[in-house]
Amino acid sequence: GENVEQHPSTLSVQEGDSAVIKCTYSDSASNYFPWYKQELGKRPQLIIDIRSNVGEKKDQRIAVTLNKTAKHFSLHITETQPEDSAVYFCAASLSGGSYIPTFGRGTSLIVHP
C-alpha cells in the first residue's frame, strides 16, 4: 500500500517568514495530493490540493509543488501569520473510485508574532 512520509514534525517560524513542509510518497500510481489544516480540537480542513498532471498550484499565500519523478510534494506558506499556526497533514491517494487517502504524520506549525 501507499506510504507517506512528512517532515518536519514541528516547524517554528517568525511571523512574516515562509514555511515549507515536505512529503514523499511510495506508490507511483497516486495521482491526487491534498493538504489539510487542523486546528486544535477541530476537524481537518482541506486547504489546497494538486493532481499529478500539474507541477504547481497556488492559492494566495499557499502553494503546493509536486515532483512526480522524485515522488515528493511540498506545501509552501508565505508571509506566515499567527493564525496559520496549526497541524498540517499531507495525503496521497491512489487513482480509481476507491479514494482513501493515506495521511502523513502531520507537521505542527507555530508562527510566533
Work out whether 48 is an interface residue with another protein (CB under 8 A).
no
Work out whether 58 is an interface residue with another protein (CB under 8 A).
no
Q: Which residues ranging from 10 to 39 are in contact with another protein (CB under 8 A)? A: 32, 34, 36
- Determine which residue in the list 45, 54, 61, 67 makes contact with another protein, applying CB under 8 A: 45
Q: Are 64 and 33 in contact (CB under 8 A)?
A: yes
Work out whether 101 is an interface residue with another protein (CB under 8 A).
yes
Work out whether 73 is an interface residue with another protein (CB under 8 A).
no
Strands of 72-77's sheet in order across: 4-7, 19-25, 72-77, 62-67, 56-59
Nearest to 34 by CA among 6, 10, 70: 6
Smallest gap from Cβ 92 to another protein, in A, equals 11
Instruction: Give the separation between CA 107 and CA 22, rounded to whole angstroms.
Output: 9
**Cis preceding-peptide flag for 8 (omega within 30 of 0):** yes
Binding range to another protein, per CB under 8 A, among 21-29, 58-66, 70-78, 93-101: 93-101
Binding range to another protein, per CB under 8 A, among 20-28, 60-68, 71-79, 94-102: 94-102
Q: Residue 30: CB partners within 8 Å, gap ≥ 6?
A: 2, 52, 92, 93, 94, 95
Q: Which residues bind another protein (CB under 8 A)?
A: 32, 34, 36, 41-46, 49, 87, 89, 93, 99-101, 103-106, 108
